[in-house]
Structure 1
Amino acid sequence: MSADFWAGYISGAIGIIIGNPLDVIKVRLQAKESLTAGQTAAASFARQFESTSSLITGTAAPILGYGALNALLFVSYNRSEAALNKGLALPPNLWTTWLAGAIGGLATWAVSTPTELIKCRAQLATSPTSSWAITRRILQNEGVRGLYFGGAVTALRDSIGYGFYFWSYELGTQWMATPKEDKTSLSQEAAKVLLCGGLAGVMTWASIFPLDVIKTRVQAQTLDPASRPLLDDPTKPQRRLGAMEIAREAYREAGMRVFFRGLTICSVRAFFVNAVQWATYEWIMYELGEESVDLQSLLRSHCR
């Protein structure tokens, strides 16, 4: 398989392992988990991880799913950008980068939707539940179609988000590009990759966080009483709401601020996860003899 496939797969899996603890908090905050009266932020944080197993809640599906998703994302992005720049004779610019990223994000829909669905339900389950058990329950009760519940809002989120992901990373590398006549150390170039990757992650989540809140609440709904997540109110009739109904209900709950609940935690997670992901991706591409950004030529000169 292509170099960008393996670079994307490995970097995606590493990102999930690093970021899962904070992702659990983010998802639970989005699904109405908030501080109760007299509860401190520190107490709330400790409650999220009452046991060691909480640190890895819902990781099985993302490690497999996001590895494949990241691989598909980078392959689709690279091929789309090449087609836009060459096939359609469009000059390379930040807007073609955004469009290629949006196409790449949309291409991940088939993997992203079931992965997100299973992850959310595992992280919101009232008792520890494995990703495999949740998957089997969905298939038994709803069939394959059940794995794609919330697919429309997930596809919209991914398309917009990954457009800004590649756009902001490319913009960062252009701003931090060093003139060829200026020599820089390997550590400086590595720091640039980490910083550009981290900022790209923050920019991405900031651009689509309200959509992610809606997606989480949509996918957290389940008709299976045995796996009813934290979001569900047992007094309500078991009818799953659409994205627009969920958005209106959330707005009535707490106004506009509800769509940004958990953004701080998410931004911290996004910076570190995407810094490591981009650094891993660039390093693997270099080791496999591929160049993905101009920083690679600088890295090569230091690694000889």
Structure 2
Amino acid sequence: MSADFWAGYVSGAIGILIGNPLDLIKVRLQASTDNIALQGASSYARQFQSTSSLVTGTAAPILGYGALNALLFVSYNRAEAALNNAFSVQRNLWSTWAAGAAGGLATWVVSTPTELIKCRAQMASPPRSSWSITKKTLRTEGVRGLYFGGAVTALRDSVGYGFYFWTYELCNSWVDTYIQGDASFAKDASKVLLSGGLAGVATWASIFPLDVIKTRVQTQPFAAQTPLIDSTGLASSSQTQLPPSDRRLGAIQVAKLAYQEGGMGVFFRGLTICSIRAFMVNAVQWAVYEWMMHELGHGRKQRNQSTID
């Protein structure tokens, strides 16, 4: 396997472990419609009463998101090289965005089932393991069920990862311009942490409404199943208000219902907690990625030098 594969895999898995508690709050805010949800993230913090609650729904993301992140970085690096060679241009922000979008689209095969299992595990009450949700989905819906909500997930990932790499490279260039002097470990580390954190925030800000729709699409109950969070839990699924039907709603229908429920504000519910999580997770994730690439002989300086040569 290539260096960017392993660097992407390990950094993605570490990112999930760091960000899962805040991601759980984000998902429940997005999918819920009751009064408790409208009170904000503080109403959900009380759910973390045990160590196990901090890692709810992490099994699928650690395996899936590690693979997703590996596929993302490999696809991005190959797509950027191909674009620059095809158009005979040097590395630039436009090719960076296009390569990021291509890399994001390539992750669809992994990200859709990973997101679906993760969201359902985080919304389940009483708690259920990712494996039990996977088995039930396969039993009741087949393999196709794991890819429910795939179109909106692919669109979210393509747009989001375009801005992800674009922002990271832009921030790196900005820091290099305004911070003069010899390079040092402290400066390089600060640059990576800042650029990675801002890239994460910019990504989620650009696609958060799509993520809200994706979450609501994927947490719909199948046929006559009960809601993922019942009346005894802190929240109830947004689909409890839907008329009984054997056919779940698509992304456009879900978006219309969400707008009727709370206007434009509903599409940004949970953005604050998500932005905090995004900065922390992506700062660490990029730091781990760059460090591993350096240790494997493919650090940023080596990559830039090979491009020049």
TM-score by length of 2: 0.90
> Any conservation in 2 of the 1:251–1:258 contact (CA below 8 Å)?
yes
Mapped partners of 1:235, 1:82: distance in 2: 47
- Look up the SS of the partner of 1:113 in the other structure: helix
Alignment-mate amino acid for residue 243 of structure 1:
A
- Look up the SS of the partner of 2:176 in the other structure: coil
Residue 295 (structure 1) shift? 10
Deviations for 1:235-269, whole angstroms, at most 9, x for unmatched residues? 73033100000000000000000000000000000
Q: Where does residue 3 of structure 2 map in the other structure?
A: 3
Residue 36 (structure 1) shift? 3.3
Q: Where does residue 268 of structure 2 map in the other structure?
A: 260
Q: Where does residue 154 of structure 1 map in the other structure?
A: 153
Q: Where does residue 255 of structure 2 map in the other structure?
A: 247
Alignment of 1:147-296 (within 5 A): 147-177=146-176, 182-223=181-222, 228-230=227-229, 231=237, 232-233=239-240, 236-238=243-245, 239-292=247-300
Mapped partners of 2:45, 2:180: distance in 1: 51
Alignment-mate amino acid for residue 52 of structure 1:
T
Alignment of 1:291-302 (within 5 A): 291-292=299-300
Mapped partners of 1:38, 1:202: distance in 2: 22
Mapped partners of 2:87, 2:249: distance in 1: 41
Mapped partners of 2:85, 2:190: distance in 1: 32
Q: Where does residue 32 of structure 1 map in the other structure?
A: 32
Alignment-mate amino acid for residue 26 of structure 1:
K
Mapped partners of 2:56, 2:12: distance in 1: 17
Q: Where does residue 78 of structure 1 map in the other structure?
A: 77
Mapped partners of 1:262, 1:22: distance in 2: 10
| 2:16 equivalent to 1:16 | yes
Residue 185 (structure 1) shift? 2.9
Report how many aligned residue pairs link the two structures: 296
Q: Where does residue 302 of structure 1 map in the other structure?
A: none
Mapped partners of 1:31, 1:18: distance in 2: 22
TM-score by length of 1: 0.91
**Once superposed, what is the RMSD of the aligned Cα atoms?**
2.3
> Any conservation in 2 of the 1:8–1:67 contact (CA below 8 Å)?
yes
Residue 50 (structure 1) shift? 3.5
Gaps of 5+ in 2: 230-236
Q: Where does residue 110 of structure 2 map in the other structure?
A: 111
Alignment-mate amino acid for residue 229 of structure 1:
L
Mapped partners of 2:50, 2:3: distance in 1: 39
- Look up the SS of the partner of 2:36 in the other structure: coil
Mapped partners of 2:200, 2:180: distance in 1: 30
Deviations for 1:38-65, whole angstroms, at most 9, x for unmatched residues? 96864x1333323332111100000000
- Look up the SS of the partner of 2:57 in the other structure: coil
* Distance of aligned partners of 1:293 and 1:132 in 2 relative to their CA distance in 1, 3 Å threshold: farther
Deviations for 1:101-148, whole angstroms, at most 9, x for unmatched residues? 000000000000000000000000121100000000011111100100
> Any conservation in 1 of the 2:41–2:273 contact (CA below 8 Å)?
no
Q: Say which is worse superposed, 85-94 or 227-236, in terms of deviation.
A: 227-236
> Any conservation in 2 of the 1:201–1:274 contact (CA below 8 Å)?
yes
Gaps of 5+ in 1: 298-304
Residue 223 (structure 1) shift? 1.1
Q: Say which is worse superposed, 7-16 or 90-99, in terms of deviation.
A: 90-99
* Distance of aligned partners of 1:49 and 1:141 in 2 relative to their CA distance in 1, 3 Å threshold: same
Alignment-mate amino acid for residue 10 of structure 2:
I
- Look up the SS of the partner of 1:177 in the other structure: helix
* Distance of aligned partners of 1:255 and 1:82 in 2 relative to their CA distance in 1, 3 Å threshold: same
Mapped partners of 2:201, 2:251: distance in 1: 24
